[in-house]
């Protein structure tokens, strides 16, 4: 279940309550079932996956990819697998913990674990959205956002791309103040 937290500490857990808050940014969030394929669930239970295992996971979920290709022109996908044993995990994740934008949409389908996307709303306020297993999110190009892991430090997410070149972070220099009291820091 997605969890949206506002700067003032207010929390929302229902997509019907979260969607209107994110609507000014045109962020799409939805629930997509992984299904009950036992082979897929076995792969998802593993910390790390070989390239061949990643491709098996992607193939099992390609119905969603086919829809995105047809409806929005997505051209490729890959599987992001992050877990605590990855060397230099903090350095790797640090690139995304600063407010940035992308020239392309950032589209993720979380199939295991969870992560947190933060957003700058049009009024300048900031929110954080915890995205969990079986949740799909599309962050439109040009949206000021950041990303970090939760304390579990694990996530498996299918990433969908129109063009991988458009996914390089462009840092905005805006101060990340989420989690601080308004007017402090």
Please give the annotated binding residues for Ni(2+), written as ranges: 100, 102, 106, 145
Which residue positions form the known binding site?
100, 102, 106, 145
DSSP tag of 180: S
Binding site listing for Fe(2+): 100, 102, 106, 145
Structure tokens belonging to residue 68: 């995105």
Residue 176 near residue 118 (C-beta atoms within 8 A): yes
- Which H helix or E strand runs over 58? helix 51-60
Spatial distance between the Cα atoms of 13 and 97, rounded to a whole number of angstroms: 23
* Token pair recorded at residue 17: 């309550």
């Amino acid at each position: 279940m997605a969890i949206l937290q506002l700067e003032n500490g207010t929390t929302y857990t229902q997509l019907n309550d979260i969607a209107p808050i994110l609507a000014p940014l045109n962020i799409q969030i939805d629930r997509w079932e992984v299904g009950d394929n036992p082979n897929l669930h076995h792969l998802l239970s593993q910390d790390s996956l070989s390239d061949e295992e990643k491709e098996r996971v992607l193939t099992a979920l390609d119905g969603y990819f086919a829809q995105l290709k047809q409806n929005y022109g997505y051209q490729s996908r890959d599987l992001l697998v992050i877990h605590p044993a990855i060397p230099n995990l903090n350095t790797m994740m640090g690139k995304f913990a600063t407010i940035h934008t992308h020239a392309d949409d950032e589209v993720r389908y979380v199939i295991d674990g969870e992560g947190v996307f933060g957003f700058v709303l049009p009024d300048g306020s900031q929110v954080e959205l915890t995205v969990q297993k079986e949740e799909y999110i599309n962050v439109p190009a040009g949206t000021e956002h950041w990303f970090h892991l939760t304390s579990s430090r694990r996530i498996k997410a299918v990433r969908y791309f129109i063009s991988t070149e458009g996914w390089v972070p462009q840092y905005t220099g805006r101060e990340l103040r989420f989690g601080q009291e308004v007017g402090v820091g």
